[in-house]
Amino acid sequence: SFRSRRGLPEKRKIRDVKKVVAVSSAKGGVGKSTVAVNLALSFARRGIRTGILDTDIFGPSIPTLLNLSGEPRLDENNCLVPLTNYGLKSMSMGYLLPQTQADSETGEVPMDTTPISWRGLMVTKAMHQLLHSVSWGPLDVLVLDLPPGTGDVQLTINQEIIIDGSVIVTTPQDIALRDAVRGFGMFQRMEVPVLGMVRNMAYFACPNCGHQTRIFSHGEGHGSNCEDHGVVAECKRLGVDFLGDIPLDAQVCEDADRGMPTVVAEESVERSARRQAFLSVA
Ligand code: ADP
């Protein structure tokens, strides 16, 4: 039986997966998916058997990031077979739900005519399938790309599967950091260990002269007191590891848009600082 004494469904371990690491952000747009996919690819590049599960219902981005699309096949046990690129297995809401895509010529987004109630049911069913019915095969690490926020969806996912650790992605801005602290509180309540925080868009690396500018400064990167405020200080206060900085870099965005994340795109570039940034976080 999957019922615990309190009547809640009992958490399950994902079959054939050793560790589940959730990548989260309290807010959208801080680069959570970009970081998640580059971390997963960094693991894969080290020979760690890795998969990535995209549970973002309203903005699944893993299909674009990995240049993958199409409906997954079902195996003989009725489990979804992951789609693979760059040696990374993936499963996404984006493969399961009909997505409303902009017309490539006019740019117009067609109206989603699916009735709301039906869509709700599809989402619930799809989420259940994503969490419990994917044939990952043996994996060392499954990176879970959580939807942004600290609400019900995150709680539900945590009630259904065992999450071994979490990584919080933030930007150096004060508001983003405050949200990140809220994210830390959520994982504490869920009793999921926080492995650390990643500071994305930490500085702007000028493509011409290489000069680094801390755009979202706010106490970080200002002379001697640079680590008195902000993400690093907050990590110290919370007793959480600071995992590293990722630069704000147009190439990171371009790589993401064309479906070849930086860790793969710059594999043969000997001294790619942006690629190294992702690798060292992993
Ligand atoms: P989230 O998952 O938090 O919503 P995304 O990973 O989708 O955020 O990133 C949002 C946008 O910012 C995307 O267009 C992405 O390419 C871009 N982006 C993310 N990180 C960086 C970075 N370090 N440098 C430049 N662009 C970035």
Dihedral-angle region of residue 190 (phi above 0 means left; psi in -120 to 50 means alpha; beta otherwise) = alpha
Could you tell me if 163 and 22 are in contact, meaning their C-beta atoms sit under 8 angstroms apart? yes
The residue segments making up the domain with residue 217 are 17-98+117-281
Percent pLDDT > 70 in the chain is: 85
Q: How many domains does the chain have?
A: 1
In a domain, 153, yes or no: yes
Amino acid (1-letter code) at residue 40: A
Q: Is the pLDDT higher at 238 or at 8?
A: 238
**Between 132 and 112, residue with greater pLDDT:** 132
Does residue 61 have its Cβ closer than 6 Å to ligand 1?
A: yes
Q: Looking at the domain assignment, is residue 223 inside a domain?
A: yes
Residue 227 lies in a domain: yes
Is pLDDT at 217 greater than 70 in this prediction?
A: no
Q: Which atom of ligand 1 is nearest to the CA of 249?
A: 24
pLDDT (tens digit, 9 = 90+) per residue, 28-61?
A: 899 999 999 999 999 999 999 999 999 987 778 9
CATH value at residue 276:
3.40.50.300
Which ligand 1 atom is the nearest neighbour of the CA of 248? 24
pLDDT for the residue numbered 10: 74
Q: Tell me the pLDDT band of 97, cut-offs 50, 70 and 90.
A: confident
**Which residues have a Cβ under 8 Å from the Cβ of 207 and sit 6 or more positions away?**
250, 251
Asked if the structure places residue 169 within a domain, the reply is yes
- In this structure, is residue 9 part of a structural domain? no
Is 189 within the bounds of a domain? yes
Is 200 close to ligand 1, i.e. is its CB under 6 Å away?
A: yes
In DSSP terms, which residues pair with 120 in a beta bridge? none
Residue 151 lies in a domain: yes
Q: Which of 106-115, 152-161, 235-244 has the lowest mean pLDDT?
A: 106-115
User: What per-residue confidence (pLDDT) applies to 277?
Assistant: 96
Q: Is 201 in the pocket of ligand 1 (CB under 6 A)?
A: yes
Q: How far is the CA of 262 from the centre of ligand 1 (A)?
A: 12
Q: What is the pLDDT of residues 56-88, one digit of tens each?
A: 877 789 999 999 999 999 999 999 999 999 999
What local confidence, expressed as pLDDT, does residue 105 receive?
A: 74
Give the dihedral sign, CA 112/118/120/124: negative
Nearest atom in ligand 1 to the alpha carbon of residue 247 is 23
To test the ligand 1 pocket, which listed residue (34, 54, 56, 245) has its Cβ within 8 A of the most ligand atoms? Answer: 34
Token pair of 46, please?
């080290």
Strands (E), 119-252: 139-145, 165-170, 194-199, 204-205, 212-213, 242-245
pLDDT top residue among 55 and 109: 55
ipTM: 0.99
Going by C-beta distance under 8 Å and a sequence separation of 6 or more, which residues neighbour residue 27?
A: 148, 149, 176, 179
Residue 87 CA to ligand 1 centre (angstroms) = 22
Mean pLDDT of 171-193: 92
Q: Whose CA is nearest to atom 4 of ligand 1?
A: 29
Q: Is the pLDDT of residue 128 over 80?
A: yes
Within a domain: residue 209?
yes
